Amino acid sequence: MNIVIDGGGGEGAVIEELKLPLTRIHNGGTLSEAQDAPSIVPLSLRIDRSDFEIRLDHLLYIGRSPKNEFALPADETVSWRHCVVYPDLGHVRLVDLSGRGVLLDGNRVYQSALRPGMVLTVGRTTMRVVGQGLRFVPSAKKPMLGDSAAMRHLRSEIDLFAPLGRPVHLFGESGTGKELAANAVHHASRRAVGPFVAHNCASLTEQLADNELFGHERGAFTSAQGQHCGLFEQANGGTLFLDEIADLSLPVQAKLLRAIQEGTIRPLGARSDRPVDVRIVTATNRDLRALVAEGKFREDLFYRLRADCRIVVPPLRERREDIPLLAVHFLDAALADMKVADKALASEAIGALQAYHWPGNVRELQGMIEYAAVRCPHPRIEVIYFWPASTRRFLDGKAIRWQGSPAEVARDVIAAALRETRGNVQRAAPIVGISWRTLYRKMQEFGIDADSFRRP
């Protein structure tokens, strides 16, 4: 895509001095080298007769800060970090980060796909989209969206440990994206051309561990009609990601330790060991050192997995500035699955998402966005369609006028919660997902009397 910057606004001289890095384009695809994929046209910006070729491996920020890829330091009408452009799901996406929006074809927008012919105005700078030239090569690499300080630190840790080839241990709360981080470790290592195999250790019971980890030969047991490759053989030459490693029983831990130490496995029914070349990446949301002290996790396996040098995957509440990007990404994916017309998040809705504490982290955000995309019948998704997971479970099957206005939806949800709690406002508030003071205010606004829900 080419974007021509109008130099008439006085910012052209500043922008003309930009030196933009050549990196790799990815997000559902990668570009190794131009000669390897000549059909892919990188995102190009033509700025005041100066051409810059950009292959986005990161987000392209526009704002007043000199750290932005597009810095507009002399324009006081532009926020420090005003908006961001990035490739997403096969097209180029614009997301406003200022809360004030940007002008696209003269209309104020907060997020939109960029298409040829569109005119984008940020402050006093006008950009015209004059060509579309993005295609993506399928890739197993999954992007970690976000450019917060916490995510930049996570990427620096991955870049530090990935090339070493040693085991890597990831620690983070449930739903933070530990598998994405493990995938990033794999693709940043020399094993990137090999397989990436992920498995949740909660399913590795003592009875199934040998078969799942090491596989079996035909005839190894009664129902073994053919050969089965275990996880180690599936990941041979690549990376094996074992999630929730703390859930392994001590006997299974012993079997895993031997395979890692010896670099060999013996499938069920086999007569000899087989060499395997696998890098182990593990993850958990529990303190393995404490489990070692309690005798629930083997100390030798703890050190073999390098769990003492763990990489921490940050919770969503520590990277709130990434929420607009994640929300738009999940909404685009949900709308693509639903095969429906475009919907957009209202700016107030994005602010509400950033204010929430997210106990379920990115997984909860994704579920909330998908729920809102299904429930909201309007082009703009308002705050009222976002509820915590407990509230969404409560609302299933309730008589809510989802096709009504946001105010009607809110009134029905509050009424359902009060009916469930027999008019107890303090018990109804957490069901709705707001404080009891806010619930009182909403009840007054909608003319709802708690006494009418109190049954003898």
What DSSP string describes 189-237? STTTTS-EEEEEGGG--TTTHHHHHHEE-TTSSTT--S-EE-HHHHTTT
Give the domains, in start order, of the chain with CATH numbers. 2-131 (2.60.200.20), 149-312 (3.40.50.300), 317-382 (1.10.8.60), 387-456 (1.10.10)
pLDDT above 60: residue 166: yes
Q: Which distant-in-sequence residues (6+ apart) come within 8 Å of 191 by Cβ?
A: 165, 237, 238, 239, 279
Q: Please provide residue 237's backbone torsions phi and psi, each rounded to the nearest 5 degrees.
A: 85, 0
In the structure, what pLDDT confidence band is assigned to residue 250 with cuts at 50, 70 and 90? Answer: very high
Q: Give the residue among 350, 367, 343, 332 at the shortest CA–CA distance from 93.
A: 332
Compute CA distances 329 → 113, 149, 325, 366, whole Å: 11, 20, 6, 9
Give pLDDT tens digits for 88-98: 655 677 888 88
Q: Which amino acid is at 133?
A: G
* Cα–Cα distance measured from residue 423 to residue 149, given in angstroms and rounded to the nearest whole number: 45
What residues have CB less than 8 Å from 455, skipping those under 6 apart?
A: 422
Place of tokens 């046209």: 41
pLDDT of residue 307: 87
Residue 336, Cβ neighbours under 10 Å: how many? 11
pLDDT band at residue 357 under the 50/70/90 scheme: confident
Give the pLDDT of residue 59: 67
- What lies within 8 Å, CB to CB, of 186 at 6+ separation is 162, 192, 196, 238, 239, 241, 279, 281
- Determine the pLDDT at residue 297: 96
What pLDDT, on the 0 to 100 scale, is given for residue 408? 82
Is the pLDDT at 47 greater than 70, yes or no?
Answer: no
Q: How confident is the model at residue 264 (pLDDT cuts 50, 70, 90)?
A: very high
Q: Could you tell me the two tokens for 431?
A: 């069901």
Q: Beta partners for 30?
A: 26
pLDDT for 58 equals 53
Segment 105-112 shows an average pLDDT of 81
Q: What order of strands is seen across the sheet that includes strand 125-131?
A: 50-54, 43-47, 2-6, 125-131, 119-122, 102-104, 107-109
Beta bridge partners of 104: 107, 120
Q: Which of 123-132, 204-213, 250-259, 341-350 has the highest mean pLDDT?
A: 250-259
What Rg value do the Cα atoms of the chain yield, rounded? 26
pLDDT surpassing 80 at residue 184 = yes
> Out of 55-59, 190-194, 330-334, which region has the weakest mean confidence (pLDDT)?
55-59
The pLDDT tens digits of the residues spanning 394-451 come to: 777 777 777 677 778 888 889 988 988 989 999 888 888 778 888 888 899 889 998 8
How many CB atoms lie under 10 A from the CB of residue 262?
A: 12
Euclidean distance between CA atoms 351 and 334, whole angstroms? 20
pLDDT, mean over the chain? 78
CB-based contacts of 389-394 (< 8 A; 24+ apart in sequence): 389/360, 389/364, 390/430, 390/431, 390/433, 391/431, 391/432, 391/433, 392/367, 392/368, 394/420, 394/431
Indicate the pLDDT class of residue 170, thresholds 50, 70 and 90. very high
Query: Residue 292's pLDDT is what?
Result: 96
Query: Which tokens is 12 given?
Result: 């052209």
274 half-sphere exposure, CB direction, 13 A CA radius: 20
Checking if the pLDDT of 136 tops 60, the result is: no
pLDDT value for 129:
65
The residue among 140, 89, 91 whose CA lies nearest residue 337 is 89
Q: Does residue 376 register a pLDDT over 90?
A: no
Tokens linked to 217 = 């030969």
Per residue in 382-396, pLDDT (tens digit) is 877 887 777 777 777
Q: Which of the pair, 28 or 186, is modelled with greater confidence?
A: 186
Q: What is the pTM of this model?
A: 0.66
pLDDT score at 312: 96
pLDDT tens digits for 20-45? 332 222 222 222 222 233 222 333 44
Of the candidate ranges 185-194, 249-258, 342-351, the one whose mean pLDDT is the lowest: 342-351
- pLDDT at residue number 169: 96
Across 117-121, 138-142, 198-202, 389-393, least confident range: 138-142
Structure tokens at 7: 């130099």
Averaged pLDDT for residues 342-358: 83
High-pLDDT (> 90) share of the chain, %: 29
pLDDT, mean of residues 293-312: 94
Three-state DSSP state, 307: helix
